[in-house]
Structure formats: C-alpha cells, structure tokens
Structure 1
Amino acid sequence: MGHDEGKGDWGHLPVMPSQVVELLRPRNGGRYLDGTLGMGGHTEQILKASGGEAEVLGLDRDEAALATAERRLGGYKGKVHLWHGPFSRFEDAMRQVGWNSLDGALVDLGVSSLQLDTAERGFSFLRDGPLDMRMDPSAGAVPASALVNKASFQRLAEIIGDLGEDPLAGRIARAIVAAREEAPIETTARLAAIVEQAYPAKWRRTARNHPATRTFQGLRMAVNDELGELDAFLSSVIDYLAPGGRLAVISFHSLEDRMVKRAFKREAQGCICPPRQPMCTCDHKARVKILTKKPLTASDEEQAANPRSRSAKLRGAERLADA
C-alpha cells in the first residue's frame, strides 16, 4: 500500500518511528524488509538504529516514491535494495537479492502524502484530478473511474460501507448511480461533490472531515485490492522470519487491524483442531509470540505533530525457534 506520512524533511514523517524501531530491534548485520518503503522514513530509522550496518530490502508499488527514497537513502551504499512491486510479492524481491530469511519485516498500510498531494493520481478530493487512485498504474488494475461508473449499486454500497466504513453508504451509492446516468463521473471533484450532496445538510455542517473522506478511502482500498494484498502477505511472511525475527504492521483501518490481529492469533496458537475433538490431528505448532497484547498507538505529541498518525495501530510478533 504506501504510508501515511505527514510533512517534515522530504515532505515526510514516518508514523510511530520509535515504536517501530523498539519492536524490530535492528541489529548490525541484520536483514530487514520494509514492504511499504514510501519515501524511506522507516528504513532510514532502521538503518540508523543498527549503526548503518543492517541491510534493508525496500518495496513499493509507486515508482515516484522509490525514486525519492533512493535519493534520501543515498548515504547507505550497499545497504539498501529497492524493488518496484506490491509488498505481497516480497518473495520475488528476496529471491532477486538472494536472501532466504529475514530478521525483521515492516509494513505500513497508510497512503503517502506523495500520492495524496499529486492531483493527477486522483487520490484526493482536495485536488481536482482524474479519478484514478491506482498505486501502480503500470500493474493493470482498473482505475477508480471504472468502478464508479460501472459497478452495481450493491457493489458500490459494499465498497463504501465495508471498506469506507460510511454509515450512509446506501444513500451515497444511490447518488452515484443517479449522477452517472446523466454523465460519466471522471474527476475527483465531481465525485466529491456528489457524495457531499448525498449527506444530509445537518451532517455536512457538523462533520469533522469532508463527507467524501470515507468514500474515497473505500474506493482506494478496492482499486488496489488492499485487503487481498495484506492477506497474501500475512499468510507467507512468517515462513521467512528467522527465529527471533520480528514482524511489525501499522494499520489505519479496523478491517486491516482485525486481519492482523487474527493472523497473529492463529500463528501464536498450538493446536487448532475443533474444541470438541478428543485428539489433536492438526499438528499445528505455535510459530510466533505476540509482542503487543493491544495495538500500540501514537503518542499525544506525535498525534499533534502528525495528524495522520491518529488512527494508526501498530502490532508486532516474534518468530519462535522451531520446536
């Protein structure tokens, strides 16, 4: 996905950097995966914490982000390996650099300011641009405009309700379907205006965020198959963690956080046979210990300095030595 990053050097503040470093405990000679490199903020912290002696494999779907990160991390020659692609394909990236295990892995599931601030990318309703939202336009996904103009009322209501978590999903989906019958919806500004009009006037007056915030979030997650990506990653990354290797995941959405929580819980359990079964036949062994009983959140200071960190939740797990 990308990262929720506010302003700072490189227009970028990585979310919860000290907690991430504390969880991953980067060490001299360790190999770390940053599956959502963005502008390189977390990777820079990992390298600093290891005294510049760890190696990081950084992935991103976004070529513009990779180019920025490459400049930012230029001082760590030979320690940073960059790979263009989604984090669910980290195994391909590892093969390419010849790694077979990891001492730590991080993914940060937010969207980067680089994407939000570029009107042509169509992520933001604050800047008018084509309704696109693809994190990697070269990868063949369909742009948001295709969903908005072709998806059924039912599918739109699902995307806006489940992924966007908007209680008015039905009203908004109906408004979109009515508007596209007049003319196709091609720009972020037009979609934002349609959503805004679907909100009752009283809600519009009292809303903390722009009424289109959740609709845009839902569409972005659908266009980039963000839950599918996360599921694929969580189901294979544990295999690559060395004993004592740690995994850290920062999520910004309750569905993502729930997926991470469940995946960790599953991997931390011994037997997973049905409770009434008299004997264990599954042979399932606990492979991780959970490091965060409850997800960690950003400090008040960080939330004040970087508003995007407000909804961030960080969970961590450590790979056990094989029994």
Structure 2
Amino acid sequence: ARISDTDHSQKAGRRGPTLLQDHHLREKIMHFDHERIPERVVHARGAGAHGVFRANGAAASVCRAGVFEDGKETEVFVRFSTVLGSRGSADTVRDTRGFATKFYTDEGTWDLVGNNIPVFFIQDAIKFPDVVHAAKPHPDREIPQAQSAHDTFWDFVSLHTEAQAHTLWNMSDRGIPRSYRMMEGFGVHTFRLINEAGETSLVKFHWKPRLGVHSLVWEEAQIAAGMDPDLHRRDLADAIESGAYPEWDLGIQVFPDTVDSDGVSEMFNGIDLLDPTKFVPEEQAPVQLIGTMTLTGNPKNFFAETEQIAFHPG
C-alpha cells in the first residue's frame, strides 16, 4: 500500500518510545545510511559529466579497437577533480587536477585515467603513499587543506629530485586552471596499442580543449575560494545546461615499439618512455588527433553517477 505519512514514526503512546515495528522508518533510515561512501584518499573533490566521443579514423593504423573506427560514436563519462583536498574543499586551490574518462565501448569499458599535467612526481609506484602523505595536511593540525605548498610537501620534493618537473608544473599557472573546460588532459603514462596486423606501437594520450588552455591568476583563485568554492563544478554544469557543450580533441604521440642501439627498449630520442616524470616534447613527436569528445549531459544524481563511478587505471 502507498505510504500516506512519511513524517511521523510509529510510537507506543502519544509521546513514544518509537517502535521498531515501523518498517517504513527502518527502510527510510537504512536508505539514508547507505547514501554514504568512504571519501577517496585522493581525487575526493570531483565533478562529472556525460558525453560522446567521435573517432575520426586516424588511429586505425595503430589500433584495432572499434572505438577508434572512423565516425564511431561512443558514450563517455568524465570526472574532473582536485587531488589533495577533502570533498568539501575549494575548487580553485593550487593542485594537480584529475582528468578521468570512461569509454563505454562495444568491446567493454575502457578507462583513460590522467591528469592535467603530463608528468608525475615519482618514478616508482611504491612511493605513491609517501608523496600523498607528504602533500596531505599536517598530521597535528590537519592544515593546510587541499594545497600542496607546505613543509612536508617541500621536504619530499626537495629530497626526491625526480619530483622537480611536476613541482614546476604544479607551481605554474597550470596549478590553478580557470575552468575544467579550459584544461588539458594527459594519460601521463605510455601505453601500447595493437593494430589489425598485430603490430605494436607505443603512445601517449593528450586531451586538447577546443576553448584553449586558460588559468586563474593567484588573486582570482583566492577570491573565488571564498566567494564561490564550487566555481569549477558550477562552471561545468552551467555550461552544459546552457548548451555550450565543452569539447576536447583526443590526440596521440606515437613511438616505435623497438629496442634502441644500446639494447634498451621503450626509449625515444634518449627519453625513457616508461618514466612518468618525463615527457616527450611535441616538437619531437607531434600530437596526431584521433577524435573529439563533447560533454552534453549533467548527472541527474551526483552521488550515484559522479561519486560512485570507479576508474581502473590498468
């Protein structure tokens, strides 16, 4: 039967106690309890959108996946995020941004998980807990929230010279983007693609925004954090709702999957392609555009669509 009253629980007598025989009360409270998910260790603060990826066929020579066939359209969901802050932190803090894309292809789900900076702090994943702990708030007072420039962070990056490149990017204008819609995305790592003939190539993925790359100045970021800490998620949602659909071109840098003269594989012009603290200048390996992504739909349920979405970086 339809519930006629969802504002009052059953009680024994006029003033209670509340009775556990009230199954609607139990169901309602249980549903409320299950609205919670554990906060993500990193990338807790995010915003997402639905869209479509349309391939232009340019990747067919290096990859046989159907998602890259000329004219093929694939549904996607993208989650943008900051890295360090809690879910309640401000959007405009100085931080690296996550750029994770889920492709719902005919051959299965493909997750391209990346950042808005093409290099990373560390070379070996065993240090990932260390760099995250160093960049998180101080353990004694839980500050600063969501910002990387503080004592334990500087201790880490000064003692690990491999972190210098990412630190310079992070402290540049790229650390405070004006909008998610004006942000590049990078796969960071090097991936192997296989074509119809079984031949392999190594590639790096690049998302290039049609609106160009733009940043806030420091004073703007500070003011926005106070006046509108939701600036980036509001900007993304409002743009899509108004029909100003953000677009990115997806491109790849392609490298031969060969062994160099010194007998070392996965190298290009002396650059170790398996070292995520390095990137290959586009002058040496131009980015070839292989398709375009357009974000056209906002989530109807932020919790179910944006917070519960899970990306597999493998």
Q: For the superposition of Structure 1 and Structure 2, which TM-score range results when normalised by the shorter chain?
A: under 0.3
The structure richer in helix per residue is 1
Pick 1 or 2: higher relative contact order, CA cutoff 8 A, min separation 6: 2
TM-score normalised over the length of structure 1? 0.23
More strand by share: 2
TM-score by length of 2: 0.24
